[in-house]
Structure 1
Amino acid sequence: MKRLFGSKKEVPPPPTLDEAGGNVGGRVDALDAKIKKLDSELRGHKEKLKTAKGGAKQLATKRAMACLKKKRMYETQRDQLANQQFNIEQAGFAIESAKDTVTTVSAMKAANTQLKKQYKEFNIDEIEDMTDDLADMMEDMSEINEAMGRSYACPDDIDEGDLEAELDLLGEELEAEELEMESGAAPSYLQPENMPETPAGGLEEENKEDEFGLPQA
Structure 2
Amino acid sequence: MFSRVFGKPKQETSNAVATLDKLNETLEMLEKKEKVLLKKAGAEVEKAKEFTKGKNKKAAIQCLKRKRLYEQQIEQLGNFQLRIHDQMIMLEGAKATTETVDALRTGAATMKAMQKATNIDDVDKTMDEINEQTENMKQIQEALSAPIGAAADFDEDELEAELEELEGAELEEQLLQPATTAPAAPVHVPAGRQPTRPVPAKPTPEEDELAALQAEMAL
In which range does the TM-score fall when normalised by the shorter chain? Answer: 0.3 to 0.5
Q: Choose 1 or 2 for highest CA Rg.
A: 2
Of Structure 1 and Structure 2, which has the larger fraction of its residues in helix? 2
State the structure with bigger RCO (CA 8 A, min sep 6), 1 or 2: 2
Using structure 1 for the length normalisation, give the TM-score: 0.41
